[in-house]
Amino acid sequence: MQYAFGRGRKRRTQPQFDAHDPRAIAICDGCGFLVQHSHLREKKDYRGGSVPVGLGLYVCASCDDVPQPYYRRLLLRPDPVPVKNPRPDYNPTYYILDEDGVQRIISQDDEPLIQES
């Protein structure tokens, strides 16, 4: 409950003024504090592309954060180059229906592939 008594509050120093080199003062869009305009940065985020784009918000250094990479476009590698003139792995299997109505699977050499018990 320290925040209610002012001990945990976020405190910031006032912007520095120089009479010889006057600079503009602006309000940070993130926290609302007065800062020098030259210290503001444009807040950026990913919007479906691979490069972050500006959101139009100008924030100070303490309010600026790293763009969330979750919204970055996922770049997939291209499919591999297909083989020219492919040949199938040909191992013929024949099905034979016996006179008893039993279906057997045999190979090219008339050897049964499945042994009946």
pLDDT tens figures, 6-45: 555 566 667 777 778 788 889 999 888 888 888 899 999 9
Give the domain range for residue 24: 14-71
114, 105 Cβ separation under 8 angstroms? yes
57-78 pLDDT, tens per residue?
Answer: 999 988 888 888 888 888 889 9
Task: Identify whether 56 is part of a domain.
Answer: yes
Instruction: With cut-offs at 50, 70 and 90, classify the pLDDT of residue 79.
Output: very high
Tally of domains in the chain? 1
- pTM of the predicted model as reported, rounded to 2 decimal places: 0.52
Of 69 and 96, more confident? 69
Q: In 3-state terms, what secondary structure has residue 84?
A: coil
Q: Is residue 20 part of a domain?
A: yes
On whether residue 64 sits in a domain, the answer given is: yes
Contact 69, 57 (CB under 8 A): no
Please indicate, yes or no, if residue 8 is contained in any of the structural domains: no
Residue among 12, 46, 47 at smallest CA distance from 27: 12
Domain assignment present for 76 = no
Please check whether residue 116 lies inside any domain of the structure: no
Cβ proximity of 45 and 53 under 8 Å: yes
